[in-house]
């Protein structure tokens, strides 16, 4: 079982729709969770991080965490063509407290059509 699993996609949504990206992780003790966006040929950039169960909103982005189900999601409202990218889910496993050794999923490719 992979430590962090994501559907590779592509996930295709029309402009203005809500894009829902999902991620599951295997280490139940993980405490911190991150979503990075990576445009083709570019480096990852942090969109959001979340520590507590529930929702965390930042502009058009909402991260959702359910530790009981070991599930993290990212919702993008009013999707724009500029949101087309690969979205990487990352987890900092518990043994790495104090260190930033992130374990990444393979990423989900999002395509937003005009």
Partner 1 sequence: DAGVTQSPTHLIKTRGQQVTLRCSPKSGHDTVSWYQQALGQGPQFIFQYYEEEERQRGNFPDRFSGHQFPNYSSELNVNALLLGDSALYLCASSFPGPRETRDTGELFFGEGSRLTVL
Q: Is 102 in the site for partner 1 (CB under 8 A)?
A: yes
CB atoms within 10 A of CB 73: 18
CA 48 vs CA 14, 37, 113: distances in Å: 23, 10, 24
Q: Is 71 in the site for partner 1 (CB under 8 A)?
A: no
Q: Is 11 in the site for partner 1 (CB under 8 A)?
A: no
Helix residue spans in the chain (DSSP H): none
* Closest separation in Å from C-beta 76 to partner 1: 19
Q: Which residue lies nearer to partner 1 by CB, 13 or 33? A: 33
* Closest separation in Å from C-beta 7 to partner 1: 13
Q: Which of residues 21-60 bind partner 1 (CB under 8 A)?
A: 31-32, 34, 42-46, 49
> Mind giving me the DSSP string for 4-70?
EE-----EEEETTSPEEEEEEES-TT--EEEEEEE-TTS--EEEEEE-SSEEEEETTEEEEEETTTT
Q: Is 110 in the site for partner 1 (CB under 8 A)?
A: no
Which residues of the chain form contacts with partner 1 (CB under 8 A)?
4, 8, 31-32, 34, 42-46, 49, 88, 90, 92, 96-107
């Amino acid at each position: 079982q992979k430590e962090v699993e994501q559907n590779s996609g592509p996930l295709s949504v029309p402009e203005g729709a809500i894009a829902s990206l999902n991620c599951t992780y295997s280490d139940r003790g993980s405490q911190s969770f991150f979503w990075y966006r990576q445009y083709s040929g570019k480096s990852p950039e942090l969109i959001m991080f979340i520590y507590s169960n529930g929702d965390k909103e930042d502009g058009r982005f909402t991260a959702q965490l359910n530790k009981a189900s070991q599930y993290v999601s990212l919702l993008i409202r009013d999707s724009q063509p500029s949101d087309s990218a690969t979205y990487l889910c990352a987890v900092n496993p518990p043994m790495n407290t104090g260190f930033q050794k992130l374990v990444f999923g393979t990423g989900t490719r999002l395509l937003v059509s005009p």
